[in-house]
Each structure stands twice: as C-alpha cells, then as structure tokens.
Structure 1
C-alpha cells in the first residue's frame, strides 16, 4: 500500500511524482529523476507527461537493445575469454542498429533470415558469427524468463568451407627470416606447441616448468606440458632480447615495452607488417595464410597416427584434429606399391 503524501494537495499526483524546485519530477524505482512539467501545470498535463515517460521507459526496457545490454553485463558474459568478449561486443554493434528498437518477442525467424541474407552478401562467415551470438543472447534471456522463444532456432547458417591451407617450410622460413623477435617467438610457440594465438600471447614465465611449458588451452581447458626441445628453448630465450621500459620486469614471455601482454589486435598489426615485408622480399612465395594456420602446420607436421596427433594437440575429439591435419598425403600409383 502506498504511503500517504505529506501534502494532501499532492494526493492525486501519479505514483513517484513529486514537487521539485521549479517542476514536477518523476523518480523511477531504478534511481534518478525526470522533469515533467512546471509547477503551475494542471493535473491533466502532469498525468499526460507521466504516462508519456512511462510508455517511453517501457519501450526502452523491453527492446532487443536492452536484452543485449543485460547479456553483456551478465556473469555469463564476464566468464567468457577476453577475445570472445571483444568479438561479442563487435557483433552486438552490428545487430543493435537493425534489431535494437524491436521488442524481443516480435523478432521472428524470417527477420533473422533476412538479416543473414543481406549480411551474407558481404561476409558469410561474419553473418554466421553474428547469428550465433544473437542466438546465445536469446538462450540466455529465455532461461531467465525475459523472452518467450529464440527466433534464431531453425534459421540455417551458411556452410563454411573448411580451411585447407598448409604453410610450406619455405614459406615459414621466409616469413620467419624477416620478422621481428615478437613475431618469431609467437610463430615458433604456435607451431611447435600446436597452440592457439590467445594461449601464446598470454603465456607467462610461471608456465615455464623444468620439463616443459605448461599450457591450459583457453578453448578446451585441456592441460598439458609441452616438453622442451632445443628449438623450443631457443624460441623462449628470445624473450630476453625484448626491450622493456626502465624498471619494468614483465610476467609475460611475449611482452610490450610497458610489460603488458600484446592484445590480439596489437599483435596482428605486427604480424601483418611482417607478412607485407615477406611478400616484397620473396615475391615468388605465397603468404596468404593466417596465424591460426601455424597451429595446423604443427599438427600436420607431427609424426604418428591421427589419434596420436589428437593426444598431442589436446583436441576433444579426433574430428577436430582431422580438420587441422592438412599435409597432402603422397600415395603410390598403380604398379608402384611394391617398388622401393
């Protein structure tokens, strides 16, 4: 039951509306205040302004934009990896201008399909990623009673062609020869340890064990110690050549002058610059590959069966490993099977 107002003249005012110094003010339960109209305004005007504010707030609070904001502020989002959070914010910036003002329950599968069709003209991969993010937001909202369903359910994604790019030894050696120390170190760690970029850039000195490098994969959670080899030791020793600001001792193996680790974007700018130099220096070679392809080269160059490669790579299943095993197999022709 609402409390009795101190001033009987205010008894007919809308809920949470009070006299301010010069205007009537609405004080929402979430905090703050909103000016409505002058103190000499008639009661009908006060109610009209109040209802307008309530309507606007209701629309604002029950929108896709607000649903996305709540997801980005949730504990679920905070538990994600740093790079995943950065990607999700990027996807949110693409989706909000299109769906932001709609009521979440008014978004239908056909709207998502239309978005996919249009977005896919520019990038099918990004269309898939944005739809996956959108679906995750709705799943999160559905579990909390914020939405009635998920409009992304049943909307097909674009089929993505599996990468087949294998970096040859000549391409690797050429790029390595013109790269700065940070890129050389990252290349070697990613290749030798079959590691993801995020795990390489976040590598700390405390992970350097007596018998190898301890790596807990950010994606699968798999914990492994990558045993030392002379080549791996040499790669880590390059960390000593990195120059830091006076008085700075970094905890990271690959670090900036400030001692901080490199962000994905910060490192990728140096990776791109190194590839551009390699293209100019070795025009006869093809450097159209990604940093992630270094992990695939490592898995492809491992000796052993696919099952053995899965164990070393730390993949959850052998199908994942098979996607990374890209070296083309040499097979005999008819009549050449028994020749030496």
Structure 2
C-alpha cells in the first residue's frame, strides 16, 4: 500500500499519478514521466489519460513511442526551430490517431483514412503537413531498423489550392491608412524585406548594423542583411519614436509595456485593422498577413534568381510560388522586333 498523500484530495488519484506544476503526471516504474492532462480537469479525465499512458508502458513498440523517440533524436534537433514547433503540434493528432498502434501494423489504408478525416476538419494543406511529418518519422525509424515498412509511402497527398492573391498598391495603402502604429510598422518591414511575420516579431534593435537590418530566416536559416533605405529606417524606428518613454529591445513591441508580441496577439490586431479597412472601403480585402511577403517578392525589381536571394529561399520553386503579379513577357511579334532592332 502506497503512502498517504499530503493533499487529501489527491488520494483519489491513480497510482503513481501526481500534481505537477501545470499538469497531472504519471511517473512510470521505468522512471519515465508522462504528462497526462491539465490540473483543472475532472477525475474521470485524469483516469482516462492515466489508462492511455499505462498502455504505452506495456507496449513499447507503439507509434506514440516512436514519435517521441524521433522528437528526442539528434536528427530532429537539426531541423529549424519553426519546423520543430510544427512537428510538436502535429504530434497531438498523430498520437491521438496512431499512438496506440504497433509500428508494424499501421497500413496505408490507416494513413489514408487519417488524411481524409484531417482534411475535413482542418483542410487539405494541414492534412498533408501531418502526413508528411508521419512519413518523416517512419523514414527515420526504417533507417534505425525500428520498423519494417513506411505505411505513408504510396499514399498520395491531397490536392491543395495554391494561393494566387496579389495585394494591389491600392489595397496596401487602404490597409495602412486604417492601421494602428504596430500594424503599420510591421507591414512596412514585411513588404520592404520580404520577411515572414514571425521573423519580424523576433527582430531586436541589436539587429541594426551599419549596412542594414540583420535577419535570419527562421524557416530556411538563411542569414541576410537588408540594406538601409529611407522607408526601412523609418519603419524600424517608427514605434520607438512614437513611444519614447517605453523601453524595449524589440522593434515591434507592445506600446503599454515594451514586451514582444506573440504571433496570435499580432494576428488579432491585424484582423481588426483589416475589418476596419473593409468597412471604410467596401472592398473584400481578401488577403492574409502572409500575402504581404508575396507582394514584396512580386514587386521586387529583378530576375527570379535575384528575387530568390532577396527572399532568402533555398530553392527557386519557393520563389515562383510567391510570384503572384502577372509577368510581362514577349509575344512572337515583339520578340522578332527585338532581334530586328
């Protein structure tokens, strides 16, 4: 019989289950700790999570254990921080669907059913990302002889609708006209530097150099210095000049305390600004925050290779996907005129 708990209410908890700092934890005999669920849930939820964790300790050759092993591997650590964050998000749904299964008993049919179900819930793009992550895990497992097959191979990805929205100059001016200072500065930096929103949010004043603004792309890990221009200098100093009493190491910061914005916090501000612009102009304003990087690449005056370098892409296909402005090309007639002149 185990010892009595200090907190009498915890005597009802399952064996080897304890209160952690933010979640109930099951500490297996092997020494491994499993986070079960949040502290504010009912006892029945705790028992259900406990039973699932207990089953994992009895069967070590499960997909759940395989995914956790991969996420703790050196191969996974070599991936970019953004990719690592995404995989930890994908893990939740993958373990929910496949976690209890033996790694050698997952079939292509199982993967296809998951793909279709996820597409109905979150769309084709998210379904494909989850399937790709699972395929990477099984490829790693094959390499280390932890499984005999990769059930994801042979399961085609779902068709994705490629975004083609180009933000016109009129739409951009309208959104800036109704933007709060934070959104104004953010969009200017994104459009001038062809940068993702999360990369702008993490920028600090220490990234200023004599030549320009230092940026390391989180997705590709490409390091760049964006040359100074009058608009860029104005944009990166915009909030600091507007709120001189607020001390912050960030370029984009919260005006009330100088803290860094989270992506979700900024996204909410952007949606509010876009809603105001829609009401004021009567236009659809059917673009997302990510479309501003596409506008930047589309508006960049240079060849596709020059656009690729400016965007920090590792291959030209990425750049072509962001090129959304109609490209002016020669016809049979004008090409002959060029040669004759």
**Same fold, TM-score > 0.5, yes or no:** yes
CA contact (8 A) 1:203 1:254 kept: yes
Deviations 1:294-340 (A, max 9, x none): 111111112122232223223223332222221113568898997xx
2:132 matched to 1:132?
yes
Question: How far apart are the structure 2 equivalents of 1:251 and 1:229?
Answer: 22
Question: How far apart are the structure 2 equivalents of 1:219 and 1:178?
Answer: 30
Q: Which residue pairs with 1:267 in the alignment?
A: 266
Question: How far apart are the structure 1 equivalents of 2:271 and 2:74?
Answer: 35
CA contact (8 A) 2:237 2:251 kept: no
Give the CA deviation at 1:106. Answer: 0.9
Q: Which residue pairs with 2:224 in the alignment?
A: 224
Give the CA deviation at 1:204. Answer: 1.3
Give the CA deviation at 1:154. Answer: 1.8
Q: Report matched runs for 1:112-127 at 5 Å.
A: 112-122=111-121, 123-127=123-127
Q: 1:28 to 1:83 in 2, by over 3 A?
A: closer
Q: 1:174 to 1:156 in 2, by over 3 A?
A: same
Counterpart secondary structure, 2:226: strand
Q: 1:100 to 1:209 in 2, by over 3 A?
A: same
Question: How far apart are the structure 2 equivalents of 1:258 and 1:140?
Answer: 45
Counterpart secondary structure, 1:156: coil
Counterpart secondary structure, 1:104: coil
Deviations 1:133-168 (A, max 9, x none): 111222333334332232111211013232211000
CA contact (8 A) 2:64 2:98 kept: yes
Q: Radius of gyration: which is bigger?
A: 1
Q: Which residue pairs with 1:329 in the alignment?
A: 327
Counterpart secondary structure, 2:104: helix
Counterpart secondary structure, 2:261: coil
Give the CA deviation at 1:192. Answer: 0.4
2:295 matched to 1:301?
no
TM-score, normalised by the number of residues in structure 1: 0.75
Q: Which residue pairs with 2:12 in the alignment?
A: none
CA contact (8 A) 2:185 2:252 kept: yes
Q: Which residue pairs with 1:70 in the alignment?
A: 69
Question: How far apart are the structure 2 equivalents of 1:287 and 1:325?
Answer: 19
Deviations 1:29-65 (A, max 9, x none): 6239xxxxxxxxxxxxxxxxxxxxxx95654432222
Instruction: Report how many aligned residue pairs link the two structures.
Output: 294
2:177 matched to 1:145?
no
CA contact (8 A) 1:255 1:262 kept: yes
Counterpart secondary structure, 2:157: coil
Q: Report matched runs for 1:12-31 at 5 Å.
A: 30-31=30-31
Does 262-271 or 166-175 show the bigger shift? 262-271
Q: Which residue pairs with 2:238 in the alignment?
A: 238
Q: 1:236 to 1:20 in 2, by over 3 A?
A: closer
Question: How far apart are the structure 2 equivalents of 1:147 and 1:229?
Answer: 55
2:252 matched to 1:254?
yes
Q: Report matched runs for 1:303-318 at 5 Å.
A: 303-318=301-316
Q: Report matched runs for 1:210-221 at 5 Å.
A: 210-221=210-221
Question: How far apart are the structure 2 equivalents of 1:260 and 1:73?
Answer: 31
